[in-house]
Structure 1
Amino acid sequence: GKMCCLFINDLDLDAGAGRMGGTTQYTVNNQMVNATLMNIADNPTNVQLPGMYNKEENPRVPIICTGNDFSTLYAPLIRDGRMEKFYWSPTREDRIGVCKGIFKHDNIADEAIVKIVDTFRGQSIDFFGALRARVYDDEVRKWIRGIGVEGIGKKLVNSKEGPPTFEQPKMTTEKLLEYGQMLVQEQENVKRVQLAEQHLNDVALGDANADAMKQGNFYG
Structure 2
Amino acid sequence: MAASGVPSGGSDGTEGENLSPSPPDSSSGGGGGGNADRRQSKRISEQSSWEAKDSEGKDYLYRLGQEADNMNIAVGARQGVIDDLFVGNFLGRDSDIVFDYRQKATRSFQYLQGDYYIAPAFMDKVACHIVKNYLVDHLDIKVPLILGVWGGKGQGKTFQTELIFRAMGVEPIIMSSGELESENAGEPGRLIRQRYRTSSQVVQNQGKMSCLMINDIDAGLGRFGNTQVTVNNQIVVGTLMNLADNPTRVSIGQRWRDSDVTHRIPVIVTGNDLTTIYAPLIRDGRMDKFYWQPTREDIVNIVHRMYEKDGISRGGVETIVNLFPNQALDFYGALRSRTYDLSILKWIDEIGGYEDLSRKLLKDYKAGKLPTFIPPEQTVEALVESGHSLVKEQELITNTRLSKEYMKNLDG
Q: Taking structure 1 as the reference length, what is the TM-score of the superposition?
A: 0.76
1:178 lines up with 2:381 in the alignment = no
Counterpart for residue 26 of structure 2: none
Shift of 1:126: 1.0
Distance 1:29 1:158, change over 3 A: farther
Matched residues, number:
202
Runs of 4+ deviating beyond 4 Å: 19-22, 24-32, 196-205
Cα distance in 1 for residues equivalent to 2:369 and 2:241? 50
More divergent stretch after superposition (171-180 vs 29-38): 29-38
Cα distance in 2 for residues equivalent to 1:156 and 1:32? 46
Counterpart for residue 355 of structure 2: 150
What is the letter of the counterpart of residue 76 of structure 1? Answer: P
Query: In the alignment, is the contact (CA less than 8 A) between 1:48 and 1:54 conserved in 2?
Result: no
Counterpart for residue 86 of structure 1: 290
Superposition RMSD in Å: 3.0
What is the letter of the counterpart of residue 40 of structure 1? Answer: L
Cα distance in 1 for residues equivalent to 2:328 and 2:361? 35
Query: In the alignment, is the contact (CA less than 8 A) between 2:214 and 2:270 conserved in 1?
Result: yes
Counterpart for residue 135 of structure 1: 339
Distance 1:165 1:77, change over 3 A: farther
Shift of 1:68: 1.9
Counterpart for residue 40 of structure 1: 243
Aligned 1:1-220 pairs, distance under 5 A: 1=204, 2=207, 3-13=209-219, 16-19=220-223, 22=226, 30-55=233-258, 56-146=260-350, 147-159=352-364, 160-161=367-368, 165-194=372-401, 197=403, 207=412
Query: In the alignment, is the contact (CA less than 8 A) between 2:343 and 2:375 conserved in 1?
Result: no
What is the letter of the counterpart of residue 149 of structure 1? Answer: Y
Offset from partner CA, 1:143-163 (integer Å, 9 cap, x none): 334432333211222223267
Shift of 1:47: 1.6
Shift of 1:37: 2.1
Distance 1:141 1:19, change over 3 A: farther
Is the partner of 2:280 in helix, strand or coil? helix
Cα distance in 2 for residues equivalent to 1:201 and 1:54? 61
Cα distance in 2 for residues equivalent to 1:165 and 1:26? 52
In the alignment, structure 2 segments of 5+ residues that lack a partner are 1-203
